[in-house]
Structure 1
Amino acid sequence: MELSSLLVPSAVRVVGQFTSKKRLFQELGEIAQSAWGIAADPAVDGLQERETLGPTGVGHGIALPHARIEDLDSIAGIFIRLEKPLDYDSVDRQPVDLVFCLLAPKDSGVDHLKALALVSRTMRDQSVVSKLRSNTDPAKLHAILIEARSTQEA
């Protein structure tokens, strides 16, 4: 599994700010619909439902919201870089400025976990995170993410 199969350029955005986690999830739903053709409401509902189990803010300003939803054929990724960090109830209580969302089919089983592990490893790489935080062009952000895993796997 490679990030290039999980993340398309149109699913990478830079956003000024959000007023709440709920508003962030609504934006993720809208991007899922425009970039992947996934119905926004089930995506938003799935993300909110998953978040009730425990925060997906993993620390160091990074959040990895994810959900399994009906009527999805493959795993879809969305990346948002926030210009103004959002209070996200992260494990380290730090606000979040990098969000990598994964939406997976209900029955994706181990593939969902593999995708989550891949994204998590990528977002733990300090050089990748530094590059993401120093760029505001969505095309460059997409390239950084795609190249990061390819370089590490080589």
Structure 2
Amino acid sequence: MELTKILAPGAVRVIGHISSKKRLFQDLGEMAAAAYGIGAAGAIDGLQERESLGPTGVGHGIALPHARLHNLPAIQGVFVRLEKPLDYDSVDRQPVDLIFALFAPKDSGVDHLKALALVSRTMRDQQICQKLRANSDPAKLHAILTEARGSQAA
């Protein structure tokens, strides 16, 4: 599994300010709808449903929200870099500024976990996070993410 297959170039964005986690999930759902044709309402509901089980803020300014959705042909991702970090109820109680959301088919099973592991490994790399935080061009952010772990299998 490769990030190039999960993250489309049009699914990367820099956002100046988000006022709440709910608003972030709305933006992530709308991005998924625009990039992949995923139903925005279903994506938003899926993210909120998963988040109700426990926060997906993994620490160090990173959040990995994810959802399993019906009628989705493949695992898809969207990435957002926030210019102003958002209070996210992360495990380390720090605000987040790097968000990589995954949307997986309801029946994706182990592939969903492999994708989540791949994204998690990528986002734990301090050098990658430094590069992401130092850039505001979505094309450059996409390149940083997809070149980082492009050839590593999950």
TM-score higher than 0.5? yes
| Map 1:25-104 → 2, pairs under 5 A | 25-104=25-104
TM-score (norm 1): 0.97
Instruction: Give unpaired runs (5+ residues) of structure 1.
Output: none
Runs of 4+ with >4 A deviation: none
Percent of pairs with identical residues:
74
Q: CA, structure 1 residues 35+55, in 2 after alignment: closer, same or farther (shift >3 Å)?
A: same
- Contact 2:4–2:150 (CA under 8 A) maintained in structure 1: no
What is the alpha-carbon distance in structure 2 between the residues aligned to residue 140 and residue 107 of structure 1?
Answer: 33
Q: CA RMSD, aligned part only?
A: 1.0
Q: Which has the higher helix share?
A: 1
Gaps of 5+ in 2: none
Deviation at 1:17, TM superposition (A): 1.0
Q: TM-score, structure 2 length as denominator? A: 0.97
CA shift in 2, pair 1:151/1:38, >3 Å: closer
User: How far apart in 1 are the matches of 2:74 and 2:82?
Assistant: 26
**Whole-Å Cα distance in 1 between the matches of residues 92 and 33 of structure 2?**
31
Aligned residues: 153
Deviations 1:52-73 (A, max 9, x none): 0000000000000000011101
Partner Cα separation in structure 1 for residue 88 and residue 114 of structure 2: 24
